Structure 1
Amino acid sequence: MRLKRFGALALAALGIVGVTSVVVQSGVALAHGSMTYPASRTYACYEDGRAGSGGGDLNPTNPACVAAVQIGGKQPLWDWYGNLISLAGGKHREIIADGDLCGPTTKYDAYNLARADWPVTTLQAGARINFKYNAWAPHPGTWDQYVTKDGFDVTQPLKWSDLEPAPFDSITNPVAVGGEYSWNGTLPNKSGRHIIYSIWQRNDSPEAFYSCSDVVFSGGNSGGDTQAPTAPGTPTATATANSVSLSWSAASDNTGVSGYQVYREAGATDVAVATTSGTTATVTGLTADTAYQFYVVARDAAGNTSPPSTAVSVRTGTGGGTTPGACAVTYNVPSSWSGGFTANVSVKNTGTSAVNAWQLVWDVPAGQGIGQAWSAEVAVAAGKATAKGATWNQNIQPGQTVSFGFNGTSQGTPANPSSFALNGASCAAA
């Protein structure tokens, strides 16, 4: 089952029903980006094509890049930053088949070629480096960097089982400067030929980006540190209606623990919901009055991962008795028609301090979808809409009101949402 048949296959895998749900995403501007250091395959072949053209065309000379162009043409190189799935929603392992990790859609399929002659970046094992990722269209999210296991064979199709189970590096919302994200990270203790696999999952949209960077680690001794950390302590949990705060006792390791990954149990495929270098994390965007189970895995700089901690069970609050935050929301529908409507939303800061980088969340009523939005970005995932301010209205001063609107689809008379939360605090309905 390959994602290249995305039209029907991936929608079913994501639990999306009907065309209306797809239209929901049209209010979100697509982001774009790819790893530039260490260079992804598409970026490395783009630069190889520029060097080989002697002009405005792209004429790669690297054998693997030449083979990729023969199969898929040059457009994937011009669009080297667009290797994405719009509706991924964090379900990467569920919707991307083994062998398709480097190019999960038809356009980039040629970059899955199992060859030993892709352009490579030489890295010092265990060193601190500055990762660089193009920010063609910046958006918030989390970047997870995985590395292939010892003994990986680049001449065989890349499978999920070829990757170490936990990322060796993770970063949430790095700063984009001059059209590029950059952050410092520690490389794993590997030796020889490997692939660094990067996943950028936006947190304001289900859209995700994928990069395969071919690397050679020098100076490493993959057999030097094979001792995994001990399991972290059983987490303790404190819940609100839509979030859970977790804390746990630290794991121990012979060379030191470099970070922790928090997982939510979800049947056959558990979901990574947080990454941290400390021993606390907060999981947001949860459903009220719902039971959840979470556990924690530790990792060290060599990429060794611990056994999972004992899982903690917790139930989110009902939300019915919560005290409204310092905000008030007015939601009205000035016009509607058969199958659609226009909504105007005003958000007032009724508190005494500014609300910065505001995000308003509400449950989308059944049968509704959200399309074009103005004065805010609006995205929908798992039945929840999230609106966030534009660059010119992203902060709300005390007593100030910001307004935005959108066009929606509706089966019958459009119903108003029942509740709103501003940056996690419930709002009074004005």
Structure 2
Amino acid sequence: MMGKGAINHNTRAFNAKNVDPERSIYNVQFCNTSIKKVYHELFDEALERYNAKQKRSNRKIDNYYEKIRQSKQEKLFHEVILQIGNKDDMNSKSKEGELAKEILIDYMQDFQKRNPNLYVFSAHLHMDEETPHIHIDFVPFIRNSKRGLDTRVSLKGALAEQGFKGGTRGATEWNQWMESEKQELSKVMERYDVQWKHLGTHNKHLSVLDFEKQERQKEVAQLEQTLSDNKVELNNILYQQIMAEEKTEQIRKEGEVIRQEVSELSAESDWLKEQTEILSEDKEKLLSENENLESQQKKLQREINKMVQSKETMERNIHTYDEDEKWQLPEPGTLMSAKAYRDKKALPLVQKLKELVKNLTLKCIQLTEQVKKLTVKVDRQQNQISRLTDKAMEQNDMIERLQEKVSDLGHLERYFGKERVQAIVEQSKTIEQAERAEKRPKRAYDMGR
């Protein structure tokens, strides 16, 4: 009979209720090859030739196995089940059952030779059930096809190439082939003096048992339930895996944020150190400049004091001019004429006063210019002192902000651990160096020199 094909049942990957596990050692495995491997061996070259001819990418076939698995016209493989007798006359535990086993082994020897278009990848003879029987699983294929792959899956085509042409509804390629295989089995049975007992109809014969069908259906149902349970468990595992991956991704992102923050803090820390050194140098420079300005101010103050003293001296001299006799115009003599008084007394005094006035005027002009210059210099120094004071205040603010950054880095080290933070900093520096190295233009060397 034709079976649905349950490879796991055939290989005893699981045991159904009607299986006696203690007798499984008497089973016979003729072959057991992965069906996917069979598809690669049979169809890969044909698939490559087919895809090479396609001009449109959507007509290419990525996986021939998956294409047939999803096909509604063809099956991945077919199975035939052959059995001699029943549990009453050919029981597996009896001598007749052992005879049936020998007949089936003999029958199987030439199966592949008789059927070159049916690639047998799994064949098992079971002695751990009530009646000995054999499962033969095969992939039907044809060569030199004019449609699709030149070597492709086709049950009807495979049987046709072996000489079984479809006729009436009851005489299909499959029915003709099955009848032929029954005859082959009958010939083997005759060699062992076992006769084929027809049970009233031409189609109901020793290899077709309702009992076997029922048992296979039960096994398939059990397998489907197991698969369903496994799918549920697999879905749970996949869900847990997805959740774990999401959690891992979240942790990775958080770690990346922390690494970025530590990297920024590390960079700021290095910058803080540089700025602290610069500010220290600026502070020393400001102190030196302040000392110079104070010295200049003291010097200006001394010069101003000198000017004040000069003014006081000049004022005292003015009083002297008012009171001293030599700066007074004398009274004319009794017999002195006006001309003589003018020439001898008045004109010399006037000339002397003119010289004095010139000197005093020149001195006043010089003092005035000097005062202007000193005033401008004092204003300029006052402005410079004001700028330096503002800069010192800005630097103090900068130092306070830098100290806050250093404090933040300290908090981070206390929270994550100094070693971990340092490791992240080193890793960040390594990454930054690598990025800079990648951005650095590469030199082209003349290999021919």
**Higher percent of residues as helix:** 2
Q: Does TM, scored on the shorter chain, surpass 0.5?
A: no
Instruction: Give me the TM-score of the superposition, normalised by structure 2.
Output: 0.19
